[in-house]
Structures are given as structure tokens and as C-alpha cells.
Amino acid sequence: MTKSDFNKDIAIAIIFVVCIFFLWKSGILYSHSLFPIVKEGRLHIFADWAWVIKNGICKNLGFDIFYSNECPLFGKDNFHFNIGNILLYIPYFKFLEKFYFFYFPLMLCSIFIYTIIKLIDRKNFLNIALLILIVFSPQVLLVLERCNVDLIIFLLLIIMVKVNQPFLSFSIINFVTLLKYYPAALITNFVVERKRSFNKNIFIILIFFFTLTCLMYLSGESFGLIRYKLNAVLPTWGNQFSIHSFAILLSKLRNYDFNTILIIALSVFIILSFSFYKYFQNTLKNIELDENNFKYRLYIVSSNLIIAVYLITQNIHYREIFLIALFPLILELKDNKKIIFFKYFVLFIILRLIIFYFTNYYVFFKKIYNLLYIKAFLDIVMMSIFFGLTIFFNLKLMKKLFNYRL
């Protein structure tokens, strides 16, 4: 990267940050995209990060933050601490209060925006349109305004793939799993991304869980506490990003049986995913991808994570930021004139983002909840394409590394 390219990227990042700051300061953000968090008449920005810091302070003051959380720092909003205990050990110094609650989250959000700019190649109009829609999407605006811990996980995932060093990858996966538990799904990449014997892979997985268990114990975790945290999470039923979306919506709005709808949604997802896998098996059979290529590895690592999250957990829509890590490879495939499918897929992704701008507004501010079905449907189609492609790449990579006949 030349100095000129670096300066351009920084300039674009500054422009985006200034625009988002304007949306926040003018109130447009809260009248068109998300609800503000207001306490005692004051608007609270970076509320998720502030919540983490305040829980650490409350724990040090001797309050129970897991089961009752009567700490006076939260007033009436005694939301129980339900993520990794390791965050409670962030050292806090009162004289640096402004840094903890404003400057650090602002810096984190700015780095995230710069990272998106670096990931999305701006060589044509379609790519530029996708970049702008991503940065100003309700998903990204929400994670930035709240400064959720997912930002840290996303950035560490990018560093892990970029450096591509086994010990660092092992350490990062352990660390991010301690932050929010769900990144444990990243351990699957140790199986598919390097040439090792079956026994070595099993040994690495066992070492990972042993190390993780020890670190969790040292941070004050227990299986009982983790189970309580996970059960205590009350996922919103609005803009979900999950295979459970249809089941949640139809059970809430139409009183349908949750499990029946979930089975139907899973069945549709599996059928679509298998169909796309067979399509990619035919159209991409001659494509050669280097397993050390950054875009390829980023896709494999990120897709394995986001698909696991989509299928297993119920997620607020800001978790869609991990989809951004899939786009560099998709955009590269789009430019392959022999494979026209990905050009239409990118157009579909852009259309989905545009539609979500409108559905998000009318759901949150006009209470037209039936529009949520549109997002749930588009999510299933998009994720089944990603899943079909991920299965194809994983099997292709495993065949190359282990000489399997698949």
C-alpha cells in the first residue's frame, strides 16, 4: 500500500466518522435508525461499552452483578452482567473517566470504520455503493452508537487472519471466546485451514478447551454461571438475525407453534443451502484459490463463525457486522466474468441493505411489525447462499490439505 492510498483511506474514514457524528448530533440517527438510551434526561452514547466498565466498577465495590445487580451506578436499569467475566478485570482509574467512556470507544469505532474501508475494494461503482450502504446501515450504526464488544471481536478476527500465525490465532480465539462465548465456533478453522493429521487436530481442540476452561476458571467463571448468563439473555424479537426469526415472529404475532415453524425454516434453509452447494460444485470446480490468500482465509474463518451464530443463537441485528468480512472474496468473485452469479448476488446484498433501511424505520418508528417477515426471508436466502459456498470451500480445502476423496 502506497502512502497516497493510506492518506485516501484515512480521509474517507474521517469523512464517514464526521457524517455519522452529524447524524448523531442532529438527532437524525434516533429519528430514523435506532432508539436512544436516555437516563436521567441525558443521552448516553456508547452505552454497551459504558455498561461493561460500570459492571467492573460495581464488582470491585462488592455488588453482585450476576444475579441481582443492585449497584447504584445503574439506577433502576439493573441489567444482569451476561457476557465474559474477563471484561470485569479491565483496570479503571477515575481520573481517566473521559477516556474510558468516550475517547476509547470513539477510537475503537473509528478503527472499525477504517477497517471496513480497507476490506471493501473501491474500484467500481457497485463496490463503492456497497461500502456506503454498509457504513450507514442500521446494523453498523447500532453497533457503533452502542460500541458493543462485538467490535473488538471483529477487529481481532481481522488481525488473526492477516497475521496468519498459529499461536496468535490460538490465543485470539481463546481471548474472544472469553469475551462473549460464541466465538468458540472459530476453533473449527484449526481443522480445515492447515495440513495436520486427524490426531493432531483432535489434540489441538482438546488443548483449546482445556486452556479455555482454565482461563474461565481464573476469571471467575463456572459452568453454572455461564448457563445462567445464557438463559438470562432476553433476545429482542424485532430485527433478529437468526434462523429462529420466522419462529419468533409467527409465535409472537400469529400465535403459531414455535418449534413447528423453526423446523420448517431449518428445512427450507438446508434445502436451499444444498442446492447452492451443488450449483457451486459445478460452476466453481475449476477455480483455484490459495489457502494463504487473505480474502479466501477471511471468508472461511468468518463464514464458519457467522453461520454457526445464525443457526444456533438468537442475535440482535448488529451481529451482521461479521458478514462484512465475507464481502472481499465475494467482490473478487463478482469480477470474474466467467461466473456471473456473484454479480447478481452482490446486487441482491445491496438490495437487501436498501430494503432494511426502510423496514427498520417502519418497524421501529411506525410499529409495522409485518415488515419483519421480509428481513427474515431475505436472511434465509442470503445465508443459504453463504452456507452453500462455505461448504464447497471447506470441502475443497480439506481435500487439498488432507488428500481426501470427497
**Could you tell me the mean pLDDT of each successive run of 10 residues in the chain, 406 residues long?**
83 96 92 85 88 93 85 73 93 94 96 97 94 96 96 97 90 94 86 65 86 92 87 69 92 91 96 97 83 89 95 91 97 90 96 95 91 94 97 82 51
In a domain, residue 193? The reply is no
Is 56 within 8 Å of 219 (Cβ atoms)? no
- The reply to whether 132 and 239 lie within a common domain is no
Residue 337: what are its φ and ψ, rounded to 5°? Answer: -65, -15
- The reply to whether 95 and 158 lie within a common domain is no
| Pairing status of strand 38-39 against strand 42-43 | antiparallel
In a domain, residue 122? The reply is yes
**Separation CA 366–CA 375 (nearest Å):** 16
Q: Is the dihedral of CA 353, 359, 362, 365 positive or negative?
A: negative
DSSP per residue, 23-49: HHHHSHHHHHT----EETTEE-SSHHH
pLDDT, position 402 = 61
- The reply to whether 248 and 321 lie within a common domain is yes
Cell of 84: 465474559
- The reply to whether 118 and 156 lie within a common domain is no
Cell of 314: 438468537
In a domain, residue 192? The reply is no
- The reply to whether 248 and 388 lie within a common domain is yes
In a domain, residue 207? The reply is no
Count of structural domains, the chain: 2
Is 137 within 8 Å of 347 (Cβ atoms)? no
**Which residues lie below 8 Å from residue 290, measured CB to CB, with a gap of 6+?**
296
pLDDT, position 406 = 41
**Could you give the maximum distance between any two Cα atoms of the chain, in Å?**
64
Residue corresponding to grid cell 465495590: 61
Could you tell me which of 365, 342, 360 has the C-alpha nearest to residue 137?
360
Could you tell me which of 313, 395, 353, 396 has the C-alpha nearest to residue 33?
353
DSSP 88: G
- The reply to whether 158 and 52 lie within a common domain is no
- The reply to whether 252 and 321 lie within a common domain is yes
Q: Which amino acid is at 288?
A: E
Domain that holds residue 26: 3-146
**Separation CA 318–CA 308 (nearest Å):** 16
pLDDT, position 404 = 45
pLDDT, position 39 = 78
In a domain, residue 187? The reply is no
- The reply to whether 138 and 272 lie within a common domain is no
Strand ranges (E), 91-133: none
Q: Which residues pair with 43 in a beta bridge?
A: 38
Cell of 45: 452514547
Q: Which amino acid is at 99?
A: F
- The reply to whether 266 and 337 lie within a common domain is yes
In a domain, residue 197? The reply is no
Residue count of the chain, please give it: 406
The pTM score is 0.94
Could you tell me which of 265, 261, 264 has the C-alpha nearest to residue 243?
265
In a domain, residue 213? The reply is no
Is 243 within 8 Å of 262 (Cβ atoms)? yes
- The reply to whether 96 and 19 lie within a common domain is yes
Cell of 345: 448476488
In a domain, residue 205? The reply is no
Domain boundary among 117, 146, 175: 146
- The reply to whether 124 and 272 lie within a common domain is no
Classified as helix, coil or strand, 253 is helix
Domain boundary among 146, 173, 192: 146
Domain boundary among 103, 119, 146: 146
**Separation CA 64–CA 81 (nearest Å):** 9
| C-alpha R_g of the chain | 22
- The reply to whether 304 and 155 lie within a common domain is yes
Distance of CA 130 to the CA centre of its chain: 17
Residue 257: what are its φ and ψ, rounded to 5°? Answer: -70, 125
